[in-house]
Every structure is written in structure tokens, then in C-alpha cells.
Amino acid sequence: MPNAEQKITQYLEEAHATEMGLVRDLQAQIGITPGGSYRKGLEKHLDETRSHAERLEKRIGELGHGGNPVLAGLGAVESLSAQWLALAKAPFDMLRGSGGEEKVLKNAKESAAAEALEIATYTAIEQLADQTGDKQTARLAASIRQDEQRMLDFVLGEIPALTEAVAKADVNGRSSYRLTDTGAGQSVREIGRQAQEAATGAARRTARAASPKRSETPKPAGTSSRSTAKRTSSRSSSAQRPASAAKRSTGSRGSTGAKRSTAATGNRSAKRATPAPRTTTAQTPAAPTPPADLPIAGYETLTAEDIITRLRQLSQAELMRLRAYERGAESRQTVLERIDTLVEDEPWTGYDSQNVEQISTALASADEDRRKAVREYERRHKERAGVIDATEREPANA
């Protein structure tokens, strides 16, 4: 018979499997959902779901799987099953319903059911942990349950608008669903834009490599003096030519020959005076250079996906600077939309500039509303374990 720690581990493994499956399911939903408040909510909850899976995995590791490899193996099977179910479900989501609006609505209804299941799961884990004296697991389960309850409330609040869109499309014949507006459509556009940027960059590098560089090879010493001496000697020889040569030049041909001679001399002078056109890097338009104060190093070399993975670590001031630059230079919709989901008020002025110790000190006497605000903000952004733990500890004045 499993002991209390083993039973808690079993429940945590099941919850972890559910979270991993929901990560894939949310990714599939975002792929077919047009831009707007509902998709922003899905993107935000995708971050939360990944965080939930990481926190559960950490707690399972701390419990050591309860010393029961059978339960650990069962958890792994559950996780794989949930992930494969979500992957298999994604293509089906594209076919369900009579139109795009109904696909999104049906997915929303299933999301509501999934959130209710998660709420029940974490309620059971919290109760079991409380009864067995595992306060840390109980706090973890309560914290995640609050996130799932908030997501359920959000989805239920979005369903009326999603249903209205179905009525307009299927009853009134006024569909507003466009595949190009979905997350998948924007990803395709972003891939195309990145390919074009790569081709342009390659062309620039080729042009620079083919352009001669001034003073690339230093001239040997004395070259200039020898060239001057040769030109001086040539002019002296021309001046000393016999007069008969000059007569022959102007005798039978007369003025016509003189004109030709003068023209030839002029042409030669013009050729010597006019240098050949030179190709330089200035003729190739350069890409806009990001300002030095951008918070992500090497920004111009990163793809949109690379940038998005780094955004959560930025402060609100850094996000605002990055958004201003992105709008003026790149205008990548996926990056801008992700920044928009992260821009919000700090829990208090100067929060982003404080370290874990400073925030923990401020939370020691904070009320539950303040602690909850910090916890939710931290999970959406830097997700520092020390800060989250401080929000879940009992306040000093309790």
C-alpha cells in the first residue's frame, strides 16, 4: 500500500501529464484562432501552463517519486499519452464545425471543460496534502488552482462573443474568419519575412565581398617617385623629337591630322583624369542598426521566435523600448502581439528593478491581495522561484 508521499506523488504525476497535454492543445488552438482578446488569453495561459508543468516537475523531484518506480513510470506514460492526444487532435480541430468561427467556439467549450477538470484535480491534491501535513504541496496546488479558475472564468466570459461570431457567419452569412489572421497564418508570414531577410543579408554580404577595398594592399616604397620620373622622362622625349617628325605630322594631312592628334591627346588625358567607377559598400543599402540601449543583445540577428522566448525576462521599461523599436524597424506582428500581452502595471513602482531579497522583505508584511498580485505578475514574467515562494509563505503579521 502506498504511503502518503507516494499517493501525493501519484496525483502530482497525473496533474503534470494533464499540463503537458494542455501545452500542445493550447498551441493547436492558438494556431487556428484569429487575433483578439481570446487569443491573447490563450497565449497568456500557455505561459502559465508551462510554468505549472515546471513547478509540478520540481515538486515531484523534491519528493523523489516516493521511492516507487511503478508510480513514476505510470506518470511518464500518462504524460506521453496526453501529449500524443493533443498532437493527434490538432489536425481534427481544423476540420470541425461549419466554419472558422465555430471551430474556435467548440475549442473554447472544450477548454472550459478542461479547466474544470484541472480545478477538480488541484482541489483533490490540496485536500490530500493538507490531510497528510504536506503544506508545501498544498500551497502549490492552491496556487495553480487559482490560475485555472481565473482561466475558466475568462473562457466563459469569451463564449458569448464567440457565439455571436458563429451566428453572424452561419446564420447571417457574414463570416469574419480569415486564416491569415490566425496564429498559424502569422507564423507563415513571419517565416516568409525571415527568409526574405536572410536572402537580402546574403546579397549584401556578397556585394561587400566583391567590392574592392581602398588601400587594401599598400604600395611598395618608392613607387610614387618612379611613376613621377617616368612621366617626366616621357614628356622630355616628346619635346626633343626632330622637327621633321612634326612636319610629317602636319604636312600631307594638314589641319585634319593635327585635329586628330589633338583629339587623341585630349582623350588620353581625359581617360587619365577620369577614374573608373568604383563599387563601394555605400552603394548597398544597410539594414537599420538597433540602438545600443536595446535590452536584448544581438537583436538584429535573432528570429522572432528567439526574441519571443527572451521577452518574459524584461522589465516593463525594457518592453516599452523594444516595442517602440520593433514598430519602427521590423514590425513583426508576432513579436508585437507577444509584447502587448506582457505590458502591464508593476505590482508597485520600482518592482522590476528589485532583487528577490528586496521583494521578499516587502512581502513579509503584505496582505493577501498584494501577495497574489506579485505572484501572478512574477509567473507571467521572470518567474523567480524565491519570489513565488515568498508569496506563498504566511505573512509575518498573520
Decide which of 321 and 186 is more confident: 321
| % pLDDT > 90, the chain | 32
Res 144: pLDDT = 94
Average of pLDDT values for 291-306? Answer: 83
Separation CA 75–CA 86 (nearest Å): 17
Euclidean distance between CA atoms 291 and 293, whole angstroms: 6
> Is it the case that residue 172 has pLDDT exceeding 80?
no
Taking residues 46-63, what's their average pLDDT?
91
Dihedral pair phi/psi, residue 379, rounded to 5°: -70, -30
Interatomic CA distance for residues 347 and 376, integer angstroms: 10
283: pLDDT strictly greater than 50 = no
Whether pTM exceeds 0.85 = no
Whether the Cβ atoms of residue 319 and residue 339 lie closer than 8 Å to each other = yes
Residue 86 has pLDDT above 50, yes or no: no
Average pLDDT (111-139) is 95
Average confidence (pLDDT) over 381-386:
85
311 has pLDDT over 60? yes
Residue 67 has pLDDT above 80, yes or no: no
| 365 in Cβ contact with 397 (< 8 Å) | yes
Whether the pLDDT of residue 69 is over 60: the answer is no
Domains in the chain: boundaries: 4-177, 299-392
CATH hierarchy code of domain 4-177: 1.20.1260.10
Confidence label for 135 from pLDDT (cuts 50, 70 and 90): very high
Triad 91, 96, 99: Cα angle to 5°: 115
Asked which of 23-27, 214-218, 340-344, 376-380 is least confident by mean pLDDT, the reply is 214-218
CB 163 within 8 A of CB 113: no
| pLDDT > 70 in the chain, percent | 61
Instruction: Return the higher-pLDDT residue of 313 and 274.
Output: 313
DSSP, collapsed to helix, strand or coil, labels residue 34 as: strand
In this predicted structure, the answer to whether residue 154 has a pLDDT above a threshold of 90 is yes
Handedness of CA 198, 199, 201, 202 (dihedral sign): positive
How sure is the predictor about 182, in pLDDT bands with cuts at 50, 70 and 90? Answer: low
Please state, rounded to an integer, the average pLDDT across all residues of the chain.
75
Per-residue confidence band for 379, with pLDDT thresholds at 50, 70 and 90: confident
Residue 282 has pLDDT above 50, yes or no: no
- Which three three-digit cell numbers place residue 340? 502587448
Is 119's pLDDT higher than 80? yes
Give the residue with greater pLDDT, 79 vs 327: 327
* Per-residue confidence band for 212, with pLDDT thresholds at 50, 70 and 90: low
Cα angle at 296 between 293 and 302, to 5 degrees?
Answer: 130
Between 377 and 305, residue with greater pLDDT: 377
For residues 33-40, average pLDDT: 87
User: Is pLDDT at 235 greater than 60 in this prediction?
Assistant: no
Split at pLDDT 50, 70, 90, the class of 94 is: very low
Q: What is the pLDDT of residues 264-279, one digit of tens each?
A: 555 555 455 555 555 4
Q: What is the pLDDT of residue 300?
A: 82
